[in-house]
């Protein structure tokens, strides 16, 4: 039976597989190949052979202008990578904890649960650029935030704002945008937990905080792992938040690139009439490697702690 | 602990918009349960027996009525303060915790209030006492060896088992090295004097703080206002050693000591069930509640486990409420059975009495397999008729009128039998089924309510298909009022 119907399954899958081959698998492989080509020209496909220099250039190991050591330093190493790590390690833990907190809160109230769920899901259906503009207004020089705390004149998002201030607003913005989806996943996970475990915990005399810590969270661990992995990946790829909030990649703190993230860096390599396709490809492969390492680490660490 | 339910009522509110009526799950229930008794709540599904149990547990709030544990009203007390153990129908074991953690979880939440003892003194005194018995200690340690080698953990465990001491004390004894010493007695003497000095020093230390110790090493401190020395009460958590001891004891009672480090999903249904009982028992509850605990087990395991439950209950003397819809289960292990129907108590009696002496038609019909045979009958001049057959005459004065006549399957006798005490009834035998020890006859009668009459006779009887006269055993015949369905005694 199974082998007979096999070809049918392939037939049904074919349209998607063909499209994916053209638009996903081929570009993936091609990116990998291009990242090793010297002086790649994307129009003609011409190149001058195999090289590791693209990686060297991205990682600042090779001098851009031969003979001048200072030209080694790239915005990738100097700004893009640190910024991306800062964004990831600030926004991911905070947004997960916050959304877990909110989801457990929503789950434990009895009245207007549906209403609260809708409220907290609103940002998800709102355009990210629109939210960015609202944030820009809130944190503007004369915006609500400054007025509220009586610190008029502090720059947060405008061009003359410091790097630190800009980063704080950027992280807040990313967390805000990340919450609704996580709350949704956690809420549905919480609803799937058998109520009897809570009854049992009550009989066992467990205080509420302990029930949450020792029973709710372990039983929610598959969802937490899923959210952790996807949001780490998402945060490493952060780019549109910078565009949405600032529409530029520099602040007053000096350098013109100090708000760059890894993906921003990759995109900026493609700008202009003569894009550095091979540099962008090398950057993408490095990002891929970083994400892979982190995902593997998370899977390893979680193996013992996640209960299915 | 005595349990009293007074006028207990639970109403689940309906929805007027959708035209759904209120559901009265438990209706004015009054039950008294004696201390140490195992009582069965028996009834068909939806009769409110589980609801009653959850109200006793405190997981459901009664609409009205009172629940008393001994002299204390617990109607509105939180479940954790009631001192109960509850075994859920599907056990509700925490799936992410090992068996050990599952059982120890209630203990980690427990607070005990005790007079403080000086732990060091207690320990030293215990060691001194045990050292008098040097030979046995050496024997136990040497005897615990695995493959001829004395292993620390097995020796410590063996000492714990032998003397019922905490693992800390037993470790200290093991470390004295009595088993390896050339002259254990001599070494024990030296160590005894050592511990004696330690003990004396500790006592002096306490006295320097202005406190005293009594013979059992309870710490006595001076009252603020008077000069009297008193024991000091303190609320505290259980220590790890104590928890460990309790968990192992509970595991031993339900015989799951070998599975302590497994997760629930690695256990069979029966084992999970025992873990659930251990978790309920470990905090030494005053009341144990069991919600259809056997319904997830297969037939053989069910019989085995229900005997187990009885054994554990007898061993621990905990007042137990056992909810079930299975009459055999309730009959076999309960001291008393409460038969329930739509939230109300139908009868409360000893298991055999509920069967032998049903108070109403419902109880008579609910108990017994095959079920009781119910006929349309009539009372005429102190005699009871089913159709034309006069099946009983009574000395009592009975009101004439239609009644229900219930006859147990074993109440029929073939005419030659002399045991017959009542009248006769003629049935049309349709089938004779051999069941080994007995014969089951499937018969018809136009006054019978239902499809087929099932009756059981001795296998020696020569039963044939066709019209047959049966004599009746008077104590197997019950008469019920047609309207109220209450028993009419004759």
Q: What is the DSSP string of B169-233?
A: HHHHHHHTTTTT-SSHHHHHHHHHHHHHHHHHHHHHHHHHTT-EE-TT-BEEEE-SSSS-EEE-E
Residues A127 and A204 in one domain: yes
* pLDDT, position A98: 95
Q: Is the CB of B105 less than 8 angstroms away from the CB of A197?
A: no
* Interface size between A and B, measured as CB pairs under 8 A: 56
Residues A62 and A97 in one domain: no
CA distance B230 to B221: 5
Nearest to A103 by CA among A268, A225, A220: A220
Contacts with B79 from chain A: Cβ below 8 Å = 202-203, 205
Report the gap between the CA of A200 and the closest CA in chain B (Å). Answer: 7
The residues of B whose Cβ lies within 8 A of any Cβ of A are 57-59, 78-81, 84-86, 88, 90, 92, 94-97, 105-106, 109-110, 279-280, 283
Parallel, antiparallel, or unpaired: how do β-strands B412-414 and B219-222 relate?
unpaired
Q: Is the CB of B109 less than 8 angstroms away from the CB of A210?
A: yes
Domain boundary (A66, A86, A110) is at A66
Nearest to B79 by CA among B313, B360, B286: B286
Contacts with A206 from chain B: Cβ below 8 Å = 80, 105, 109
Contacts with A217 from chain B: Cβ below 8 Å = none
Residues A289 and A142 in one domain: yes
> CA of B178: how far to CAs of B159, B192, B199, in Å?
13, 12, 21
* pLDDT, position B133: 81
Q: Is the CB of A203 less than 8 angstroms away from the CB of B79?
A: yes
> Which chain B residue shows the shortest CA-CA distance from A215?
B94
Element (H, E) at B364: helix B361-366
> Which chain B residue shows the shortest CA-CA distance from A202?
B80
Domain boundary (A12, A42, A66) is at A66
Report the gap between the CA of A214 and the closest CA in chain B (Å). Answer: 9
Nearest to B126 by CA among B183, B168, B187: B168
Nearest to B13 by CA among B5, B25, B3, B28: B25
> Which chain A residue shows the shortest CA-CA distance from B82?
A203
Q: Is the CB of B96 less than 8 angstroms away from the CB of A219?
A: yes
> Which chain B residue shows the shortest CA-CA distance from A219?
B96
HSE-up (13 A, CA, CB side) for residue A232: 18
Residues A270 and A222 in one domain: yes
* pLDDT, position B219: 78
**Assigned token pair, A84:** 């991306």
* pLDDT, position A282: 93
* pLDDT, position B185: 83
CA distance B467 to B388: 14
CA distance A216 to B317: 34
Domain boundary (A48, A66, A84) is at A66
Residue-wise pLDDT tens digits, A266-299: 988 888 777 888 889 999 999 999 999 999 999 8
* pLDDT, position A226: 92
> CA of B329: how far to CAs of B3, B41, B289, B294, B326, in Å?
22, 11, 15, 9, 5
Q: Is the CB of A307 less than 8 angstroms away from the CB of B88?
A: no
Q: Does A2 touch chain B (CB under 8 A)?
A: no
pLDDT over threshold 90, residue A102: yes
Residues A82 and A35 in one domain: no
pLDDT over threshold 70, residue A254: no
> CA of A134: how far to CAs of A92, A139, A181, B230, in Å?
22, 9, 20, 69
Residues with Cβ < 8 Å from B55, sequence gap 6 or more? B8, B10, B26, B61, B62, B67
Cross-chain CB nearest to B80 (options A194, A203, A215): A203
Count of all residues that appear for chain B in the document? 490
Residues A169 and A298 in one domain: yes
Q: Does A273 touch chain B (CB under 8 A)?
A: no
**Assigned token pair, B276:** 């659930």
Task: Pick from A110, A194, A203, A209 the residue to mutate for testing the B interface (most B CBs within 10 Å).
Answer: A203
**Assigned token pair, B358:** 């049903």
Contacts with B88 from chain A: Cβ below 8 Å = 196, 199-200
Residues A50 and A78 in one domain: no
Residues A32 and A119 in one domain: no
Domain that holds residue A276: 72-305
What CATH number should be reported for the domain holding residue A190? Answer: 1.10.3720.10
* pLDDT, position A243: 86
Contacts with B278 from chain A: Cβ below 8 Å = none
Residues A79 and A212 in one domain: yes
Q: Does A305 touch chain B (CB under 8 A)?
A: no
Task: Pick from A189, A193, A202, A204 the residue to mutate for testing the B interface (most B CBs within 10 Å).
Answer: A204
pLDDT over threshold 90, residue A75: no
Q: Is B345 exposed, middle or buried (0-12, 13-18, 19+ CB in 10 A)?
A: buried
Nearest to B40 by CA among B51, B30, B53: B53
Report the gap between the CA of A95 and the closest CA in chain B (Å). Answer: 25
What's phi and psi for B448, nearest 5 deg?
A: -80, 140
Helix (H, G, I), strand (E, B) or coil at B139: helix
Contacts with B277 from chain A: Cβ below 8 Å = none
Q: Is the ipTM of this complex over 0.95?
A: no
Task: Name the DSSP class of B415.
Answer: T
Residue-wise pLDDT tens digits, A192-229: 999 999 999 998 888 999 999 999 999 999 999 999 99
Are the beta carbons of B64 and A172 closer than 8 angstroms?
A: no
CA distance A58 to A51: 13
Show contacts of B463-467: CB within 8 Å, 24+ apart: B463/B414, B463/B429, B463/B432, B463/B439, B464/B429, B464/B432, B465/B429, B465/B430, B465/B431, B465/B432, B466/B428, B466/B429, B467/B426, B467/B427, B467/B428, B467/B429
Alpha helix (H) residue ranges in B288-338: 299-316, 327-333
Domains assigned to chain B = 3-83+285-344 (3.40.50.300), 115-237 (no CATH), 370-488 (no CATH)
Residues with Cβ < 8 Å from A226, sequence gap 6 or more? A185
* CA angle B26–B32–B38, rounded 5-degree value: 95
Q: Which residue has the tokens 């059975």?
A: B337
* pLDDT, position A2: 55
CA distance B259 to B254: 11
Helix (H, G, I), strand (E, B) or coil at B132: coil
Cross-chain CB nearest to A203 (options B84, B94, B96): B84
Q: What is the DSSP string of A81-103?
A: HHHHHHHHHHHHHHHHHHHHHHH
Mean pLDDT, residues A98-127 taken together: 88
* pLDDT, position A255: 61
Contacts with B97 from chain A: Cβ below 8 Å = 218
Cross-chain CB nearest to A202 (options B79, B94, B95): B79
Residues A209 and A225 in one domain: yes
> What's the number of domains chain A is made of?
2
What mean pLDDT, rounded, does chain A reach? 87
Report the gap between the CA of B107 and the closest CA in chain A (Å). Answer: 8
What does each of the 490 residues of chain B score in pLDDT, given as a tens digit?
889 999 999 998 888 788 788 888 888 889 899 998 999 999 888 888 889 999 999 999 999 999 999 888 999 988 888 889 999 988 899 999 999 999 999 999 888 877 777 778 888 888 888 888 888 888 888 887 777 777 777 787 777 777 777 667 778 888 888 777 788 888 888 888 888 888 888 888 888 877 777 777 787 777 777 777 777 777 888 888 788 888 888 888 888 888 888 999 999 888 898 899 899 988 888 899 999 888 877 788 788 888 888 888 888 888 999 999 888 888 888 999 999 988 888 899 998 999 999 999 999 998 888 889 999 888 888 888 888 788 877 777 778 888 999 999 988 887 665 555 567 888 888 888 888 888 888 988 888 888 888 888 888 777 788 888 888 888 888 999 888 888 888 7
**Interface list for A 200-259 with B (CB within 8 A):** 200-207, 210, 214-215, 218-219, 221
* pLDDT, position A215: 92
Exposure string over A20-41, b if 16+ CB within 10 A, otherwise e? eeeeeeeeeeebeebbbbeebe
Mean pLDDT, residues A145-151 taken together: 83
Q: Is B395 exposed, middle or buried (0-12, 13-18, 19+ CB in 10 A)?
A: exposed
Residues A39 and A175 in one domain: no
> Which chain A residue shows the shortest CA-CA distance from B105?
A204
**Assigned token pair, B61:** 């709030």
Residues A20 and A165 in one domain: no
């Amino acid at each position: 039976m199974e082998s007979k119907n096999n070809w049918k399954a392939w037939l049904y899958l074919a349209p998607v597989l063909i499209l994916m081959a053209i638009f996903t698998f081929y570009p993936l492989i091609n990116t990998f190949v291009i990242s090793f080509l010297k002086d790649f020209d994307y129009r003609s496909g011409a190149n001058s052979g195999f090289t590791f220099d693209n990686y060297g250039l991205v990682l600042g190991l090779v001098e851009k202008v031969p003979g001048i050591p200072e030209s080694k330093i790239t915005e990738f190493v100097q700004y893009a990578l640190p910024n991306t790590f800062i964004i990831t390690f600030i926004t991911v833990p905070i947004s997960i904890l916050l959304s877990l907190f909110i989801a457990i809160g929503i789950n434990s109230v009895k009245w207007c649960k549906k209403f609260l769920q809708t409220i907290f899901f609103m940002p998800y259906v709102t355009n990210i650029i629109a939210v960015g503009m609202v944030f820009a207004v809130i944190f503007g020089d004369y915006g609500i935030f400054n007025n509220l705390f009586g610190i008029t004149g502090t720059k947060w998002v405008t061009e003359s704002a410091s790097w630190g201030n800009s980063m704080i607003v950027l992280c807040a913005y990313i967390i805000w945008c990340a919450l609704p989806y996580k709350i949704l996943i956690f809420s549905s996970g919480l609803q799937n937990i058998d109520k009897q475990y809570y009854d049992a915990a009550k009989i066992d005399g467990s205080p509420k905080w302990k029930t949450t810590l020792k029973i709710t969270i372990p039983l929610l661990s598959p969802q937490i792992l899923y959210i952790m992995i996807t949001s780490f990946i998402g945060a490493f790829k952060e780019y549109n938040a910078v565009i949405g909030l600032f529409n530029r990649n520099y602040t007053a703190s000096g350098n013109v690139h100090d708000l760059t993230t890894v993906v921003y860096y990759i995109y900026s390599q493609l700008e202009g009439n003569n894009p550095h396709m091979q540099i962008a490809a090398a950057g993408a492969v490095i990002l891929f490697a970083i994400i892979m390492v982190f995902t593997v680490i998370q899977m390893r660490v979680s193996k013992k702690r996640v209960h299915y | 602990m005595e349990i009293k339910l007074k006028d207990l009522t639970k109403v689940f509110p309906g929805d007027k918009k959708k035209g759904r009526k209120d559901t009265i799950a438990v209706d004015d229930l009054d039950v008294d349960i004696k201390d140490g008794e195992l009582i069965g709540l028996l009834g068909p599904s939806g009769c409110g027996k589980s609801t009653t149990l959850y109200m006793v547990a405190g997981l459901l709030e009664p609409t009205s009525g009172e629940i008393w544990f001994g002299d204390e009203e617990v109607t509105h007390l939180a479940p954790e303060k009631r001192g109960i153990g509850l075994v859920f129908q599907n056990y509700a074991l925490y799936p992410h915790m090992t068996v050990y953690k599952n059982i120890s979880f209630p203990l980690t939440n427990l607070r005990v209030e005790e007079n403080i003892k000086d732990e060091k003194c207690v320990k030293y005194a215990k060691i001194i006492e045990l050292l008098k018995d040097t030979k046995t200690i050496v024997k136990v340690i040497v005897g615990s060896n695995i493959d001829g080698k004395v292993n620390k953990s097995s020796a410590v465990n063996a000492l714990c088992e032998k003397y019922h001491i905490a693992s800390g004390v037993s470790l200290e004894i093991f470390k004295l090295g009595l088993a390896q010493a050339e002259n254990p007695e001599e070494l024990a003497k030296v160590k005894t004097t050592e511990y004696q000095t330690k003990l004396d020093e500790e006592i002096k230390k306490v006295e320097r703080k202005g406190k005293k110790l009594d013979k059992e090493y309870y710490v006595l401190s001076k009252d603020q206002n008077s000069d009297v020395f008193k024991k000091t009460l303190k609320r505290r958590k259980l220590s790890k050693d104590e928890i460990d001891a309790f968990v192992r004891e509970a595991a031993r009672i339900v015989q799951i000591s070998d599975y302590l480090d497994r997760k629930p999903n690695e256990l069979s249904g029966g084992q999970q069930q025992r873990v659930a009982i251990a978790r309920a028992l470990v905090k030494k509850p005053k009341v144990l509640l069991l919600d259809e605990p056997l319904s997830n087990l297969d037939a053989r395991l069910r019989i085995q486990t229900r005997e187990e439950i009885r054994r554990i209950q007898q061993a621990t003397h905990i007042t137990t409420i056992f909810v079930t819809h299975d009459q055999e289960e309730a009959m076999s292990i309960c001291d008393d059975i409460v038969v329930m129907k739509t939230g109300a108590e139908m009868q409360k009696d000893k298991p055999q009495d509920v069967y032998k002496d049903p108070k109403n038609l419902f109880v008579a019909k609910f108990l017994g397999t095959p079920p009781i045979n119910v006929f349309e009958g009539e009372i005429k001049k102190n005699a009871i008729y089913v159709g034309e057959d006069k099946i009983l005459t009574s000395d009592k004065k009975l009101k004439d009128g239609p009644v229900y006549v219930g006859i147990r399957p074993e109440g029929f006798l073939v005419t030659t039998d002399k045991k017959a005490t009542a009248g006769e009834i003629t049935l049309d035998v349709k089938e004779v089924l051999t069941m080994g020890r007995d014969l089951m006859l499937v018969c018809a009668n136009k006054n019978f309510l239902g499809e087929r009459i099932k009756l059981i006779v001795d296998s020696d009887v020569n039963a044939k298909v066709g019209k047959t006269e049966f004599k009746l055993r008077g104590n197997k015949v019950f008469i019920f009022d047609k309207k109220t369905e209450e028993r009419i005694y004759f």
